Structure formats: structure tokens, C-alpha cells
Structure 1
């Protein structure tokens, strides 16, 4: 059975990438902009679940595992990771009195039917329904667009509307251009609106947080109305949300200089920012 403490097994089970990168290094490579990454940081820090989606054409090296692992640095302090064992997963951790769902992220290498070490069907449906029990999930999928992610979750895996709404962030990434080395971009970043739309109570509404513009290779960011909605959904005071976001933008700007900060420097900077925020609280 899978032992996540063993580096070889984490690589064999596709939990580790060949070339690990930090978010600062991903920004330095221009795969995403500082503002988008800072917003994702703030959402993950407040318990949002995460899906990283890559192309349906199984292009090797697109970066789903690298991106997912990099973003784990932004999880709340004292977060516990529960590694899933693909189609062999029995969810025994959900029956343990020692595990607090509120501080636990269930990590799945991939939701797909490609390999037994991934999750699909009944097992994947149970996994993706864990947020109803208070857990958070982080995984990757093969999907070219946010609509394809929704279709996979709702039609292929038969998740209920409320279950999909609890899945938080969806980042669609991919390769651009035909030159080597390949350039990676976060094409879209969405957040599932957690509350039903009164006009469409059965609709799943993906709220756009960031969209890549292929004309000038820039990112179009969410407007103030969306940021206000995010603050409300995360229960962060509206006056505090922009300040918290700016602190993370400033932090990532500094960390992404040159080729970008490594993992240890990232952890230290994140811990330092959180400590300063805690000290400033009344």
C-alpha cells in the first residue's frame, strides 16, 4: 500500500514531479502573474478546495503535478494532508477520531480513469464529496476548459450540484506556442460560487478570477465586485480583504525576482507574513 513518507513511492504514485517548482519560480517563468497567484494564496489559506486541470490530450510535462504541489505551500498553518491511494482508497481516515476535517486536505494525484493509482467512478465520487463532511480536497484532472471540468464532475461522476459548488478553485493550465522549451500558462482561474443563484437555483456558476489574454500574453483579473463577493464567501471583512491581498502581492513580487525563490525561502516568507498579520490583530 502507498506510503507517502517514501519519496520513491510519492514519485511512483505521481505525487511528485520531475522538476519541482515553487509558485515564485512559476511566476518568474511567466506562467501566471503575481496578482492571480496572490488571490489563489488567499483563497487556499482560507480553506478553499482546489482542482488543477490540464489538457485532455495527455501531453507529458504540462505541469499539473508541479502546479498542485507548489500551491500546497499556501495551505493554512497546521494543515494535515491525507494522501489518497487511487482506486484502492478505503477512506479509513474519515473514521479516525484523531483527524479534524476542518484542518485536513485530502490530496489525490488525479481524478481520471487512466490508471488504478488514480480515482474514478464511485471512489472518485466519494472523494469529491468529502467537503460535505468538512474536509478540503486538492486534485488534478484532464480537462481543457472550466466547462469540461464541470461536465466531468456533474455528468461523468454524477456529483450533485451542491457537491460541485463546494469544490472551490479550478485552475486550467496548458502549453502555448510551438517553441522549445514549452511555455506554460494558467489559462483560467475560477471559483465555484458556493451559494445558489436565485435566478438559476440548479446552475453551477464558475466565477472568473483570472483569464489569460493570448494576444498580449497578460492576465485579466477579477473586478472589484467579484473580489467583494469572495470576501463575503470567505467571511473576511471587506476592509481587510484588499489589505490581505496586497500584502501577498507584495510578498510574491519580491519572491519572484530573477528565477524565483526556492521552497525554503518561500516557507520562511509565508510564515513571516502570517506572523506579522497575527501580531497586528487587535
Structure 2
């Protein structure tokens, strides 16, 4: 059972075995933990210093080219860490024409995969969280089936409780028993958390990784997350991937390294501009991103 949202904007009802969740209803989206109390745009998140424009630009380019996404937050239950807010903000970077299939936690029956009119290539299966905390989240065999959807051409976007990239990989591979081939299709992993002891708490994106989709011939069973951006606690800045990794990303997208660098720079400059002051809100940013895409060469 799921509900589908075409274009990542308008919600339409899909008939399924269960009918307890309708994402067209803002209250239900909040109740099912698909929306946060204080939604923020990516421009506002950058303006707050949680992440920098270049890191967001790298993620944008990968999402625009079909990468799946996991947003990971601390295992120590800290309210307001921002997993849901971050996930929703990043959804604005999905390709135009993308449909969102909202998962129904442990009640999900994946009926949407049998609907002829749904194109896997343009569909993101959105899960509020992969964890065993609540029935509205996914765990066990249901989560394992969800995480293998990219093998059928779908993309996924979800959140998890995990302190580091190693913890995310351990959860996916060991706890949920997702095989190496399927894990390599899971794309981006963003680890976020709270820093400092002041109130209100400061949020930072500790690391951004992209799971290497290609098999290492020397380690055929290995799954290798590539570091794209790492937060430097000493001076509160971000360190970026080296050129070899960026070349790998360009190859995955199917463009030249020079074109990849140009596209990242264009998006970085755009995000820096719209993040001035307190940053554009969600609606303003949606319109700004649409205009940016219209102006693409």
C-alpha cells in the first residue's frame, strides 16, 4: 500500500489493500512523520550554517540524475535533529516530473509496483524512516524489500538512526541483510547531528557520502562509500572530495569531468545567492529552482 504524488507536488489517491494514509492531508503527513513542525528550504538550511552551498550543489546534481538518498541522524534520540526537515528540503532537487510513492511503514504491500502506468525510472519511494521504533516505520523484511526497490529501477529516499556512515552500512548490510549489489544502488547518505551546548542547538551535516555503484574487482563483496563532504569541527567548514572521486561521479552521471565541475559551480553560485540573509522559504525556492532549470544551457 502506498500513495503516489506526481511531480513531487500534487497528491493523487491510489487504491490499495489498506487506506489508512492519504498524503494529500497535511495532518496525516504530519502524523505519519512525513512533515516536520518547522519545515525549511535548502536555502534556509544553508543560511543557518548547517551545510554549505557546495555540498548542497553536489547533492542536487546527483539527485537530479536519479540518486537514491538516506538521511541519517543520531542513535541517541535527540528531538529536533532535523532528519525529516532535511529529507523534505532535498526533495526539491529531484528531477522534474518525479513521482513520490509514500510508504505506509510496516503496513506497506508495495502494490504500486504492479500498477502499469507508474514508471520506475521517474518514481521515488519515500519512507519516513527505516527503524523498529514504530509501526509507521519500516523494519525487517518490509524494509529489506523497500531497500531493494532500486534493483527494479525505482529510487528511494528515507531516513535512519545512525551516527556515522559505518553505522548506516552496518544497519543495511548486517542487520537488515541487504546484499552488496543492492546496497551499491542506495546512492547518497547524509549524516547530520547537533553540535555545541548552546540553545537553540546548532545543526551540522557531519558527512555526505555516495555509495560506489561499481564493483571493486579486488574486493568484489566490498561496499565502498565515497566521501563527498566532511564537516571540519575545528573551523566549522566543509572538506570536499578529491578529483578522482569527482571524476567517478561525472562518469556515473554520464558527463565529462569539466561539465560536472561547471554544473556544480552553477548550482553553488545559485544556492549562495538565494541563501543570503535568512534564505528563500520553501515556496520561493521552488519557484527559484524552476527558473534556474529554465535557464539551463
Q: TM-score, normalised by structure 2?
A: 0.93
Unaligned regions of 5+ residues in structure 1, if any? Answer: none
Cα distance between partner residues in 2 of 1:249 and 1:215: 23
Name the SS of the counterpart of 1:58 in structure 2: coil
1:250 counterpart residue number: 269
Residues matched between the structures, number: 278
1:223 counterpart residue number: 242
Cα distance between partner residues in 2 of 1:179 and 1:271: 37
1:4 counterpart residue number: 23
Question: Which residue, 81, 92, 95 being the options, matches 1:73?
Answer: 92
Question: CA offsets, 1:210-242, max 9 Å, x none?
Answer: 000111111001122211110001112223111
2:278 is the alignment partner of 1:274: no
Q: TM-score, normalised by structure 1?
A: 0.97
Question: CA offsets, 1:151-178, max 9 Å, x none?
Answer: 0000110000011100000000000000
Question: CA offsets, 1:168-207, max 9 Å, x none?
Answer: 0000000000000000000000000000112211101000
* Higher mean C-alpha deviation, range 127-136 or range 256-265: 256-265
2:185 is the alignment partner of 1:166: yes
Q: Contact conserved, 1:175 with 1:182, CA < 8 A, in 2?
A: yes
Cα distance between partner residues in 1 of 2:294 and 2:218: 43
Cα distance between partner residues in 2 of 1:33 and 1:222: 14
Question: CA offsets, 1:115-171, max 9 Å, x none?
Answer: 000000000000000000000000000000000000000011000001110000000
Cα distance between partner residues in 1 of 2:165 and 2:34: 23
2:164 is the alignment partner of 1:175: no
2:220 is the alignment partner of 1:206: no
Cα distance between partner residues in 2 of 1:65 and 1:48: 18
Q: Contact conserved, 1:31 with 1:183, CA < 8 A, in 2?
A: yes
